Structure 1
């Protein structure tokens, strides 16, 4: 078998991607908690109103982004579990084959 006919799965990358996506999800969910904290720094009422409109619009995009991050996280988790299961299945099949052939 050649170098190009093998599938190489970077488990470290998949695990770190899963962790990073979870952190992004947590950050996106936590942003809303800071809205009241920054309201006072907006100053004048008309500026505060425009900033509130901006934040409300951002909330809509943030929700969509959050959904996409959650979906991607689920896909990464599924891929990770699938590759781990495949590795185990191949290992077991290889051990079974070796056992039948007397270790050859």
Structure 2
């Protein structure tokens, strides 16, 4: 959007935010693998049980967080796209208005 506009949208920030949310989602999805890796390190069955309970709880919350991260990412991308579309539409309208004004002035 133009510098004289009351509303300024930082497209780069929105794009960076969307990318970072995708990276976070990927990291959270990749945490599934660590359960098996750590199980062999725990030894005692009581520790394994306690950690198993913790991991199951973490899995439930991780899945919820991944869904929420995906939703926020969709909103960020939709916001970016809506403002870009609006910016293009306003630029076209402004250009058309200027052309009409020039035609009337001639």
Give unmatched runs, 5+ long, in structure 1: none
- Note the C-alpha offset of 1:41: 1.1
How far apart are 1:44 and its partner, in Å?
A: 0.8
CA deviations 1:82-104 (Å, max 9, x no partner) are 00000000110111111111188
Across the two proteins, how many residue pairs are aligned to each other? 102
Partner Cα distance (1:95, 1:27) in 2? 45
Gaps of 5+ in 2: none
Q: Which residue of 2 aligns with 1:10?
A: 10
- Answer yes or no: is 1:25 the counterpart of 2:25: yes
TM normalised by structure 2 equals: 0.89
What does 1:37-52 align with in structure 2 at a 5 Å threshold?
37-52=37-52
Aligned CA-pair RMSD: 1.9
CA distance in 2 between counterparts of 1:62 and 1:39 reads 19
